[in-house]
Structures are given as structure tokens and as C-alpha cells.
Amino acid sequence: MFTGLVHSTGSVARIDAGAQQKTFVIASTLRDADLAVGASVCTSGVCLTVTSREGDTFTVEAAFETLELTTLGSLAPGDRVNLEPSLRVGDAIGGHLVSGHVDGVGTLASVDSRGDAREMWFEVPASLAPFIATKGSVCVDGVSLTINRVEGARFMIGVIPHTLEVTTLGARAVGDAVNIEVDQLARYVARILDYAEVGPRDPDSD
């Protein structure tokens, strides 16, 4: 579990590609305590498991499902990624609860400067539109953000200078793909409403 508050950015030092998976070696400044083998690290919105450590780098692996459904498959050496270690009991939740399970890939549709801040519009798959609500929360590339406006399958966020500086959002350009995780509460509300409308499925009806 995570909060969407990015602790630092890392850079992809090396990628080893296999037939059905990729191994990413990431250089970072995260604390040693956050990078124990087996620990979870939210990497640009995707929950990954640390498989090894060496110096200031750590290694994670992503299999075919993750590579197909997130932006990790398009990463290249030198690319920056947002990093957040898993939430510990007693830690402050300054963002919102994030699972690191990406719901879909969105696209940065437009960017406009608002002083030192930026107004950023994202477009998401139509299937995710019902989970996006004004003043609700959304996780974009691992960053917890508040939705300011919604128009169909597009939503707008206002990004302050600090967030632009300490995450990868400041380097995003129109057309870039981003990982989207909708608010968990929205998921459960949708499931409850669906269940109330359809009712329990009879396993013998298949």
C-alpha cells in the first residue's frame, strides 16, 4: 500500500529483456531500509518487488501482464521514474491510499502554464471515466493528485511547482502516456452498484 507521495525520482540504469518479462535496474536515493529484497516499491505508479540490491541501484522485474497494461514496457535506459516505498504502520497519509495496481494508461492531452504552476488535462480510456470525479483523487504515474474538472473521459489537475520539480510530471509533454490508478473507493462503489443491479451470479448458469 502507498500514498501517492513520491519520495524521489530514480533513473533506469539498465534493462534486461526476456521473452515474457523485463528486469529493470534503477538508480535511486531511497533509503536502504526501503529497498530490502522482497520490499515493495511504487515505480511510476506500479507496485514492484525488489529482487536485488547493489550499491545505489536496485532491481525489479515486470512480467508480460504489467508490461502490456502499463507504461513500463516503453521505458528506456536513462528514463526517470517516480519512486515511493511502501506505507508503514504509523506513517502519515498525506495523499490517498494507492495500491500500485494500475487501472489503465492515459494520455497527457494538453498543458497550460498558470504562473509557476501548470494546468494539465489527461484523457483516459472510456472504461475509467465513471471512476473520475471532480474533487476526487487520482494517481498519475504514482503521484496522488486532486481532480479539478472533468469533461467526459478527460480530467484536469493543477500541479504546483514543488510537484513539478520533485516528480516526473514536470517533464511530461503532450502525447505522453501515463499510468492511471483510480481511487479505490470509486472502485468499490461501482462494484456495489453493479452487484445491486445484477445480483449474485449463479455459478451453475454458465
Distance in angstroms between the alpha carbons of the first and the last residue of the chain: 35
In sequence order, what are the residues at sequence separation of 6 or more whose Cβ sits closer than 8 angstroms to the Cβ of residue 52? 37, 58, 59
Residue 143 contacts residue 172 (beta carbons within 8 Å):
no
- DSSP bridge pairs for 24: 15, 60
* Dihedrals phi, psi of 34, to nearest 5 degrees: -90, -5
Largest distance between two CA atoms of the chain? 61
**Residues assigned a catalytic role:** 2, 40, 47, 49, 63, 101, 146
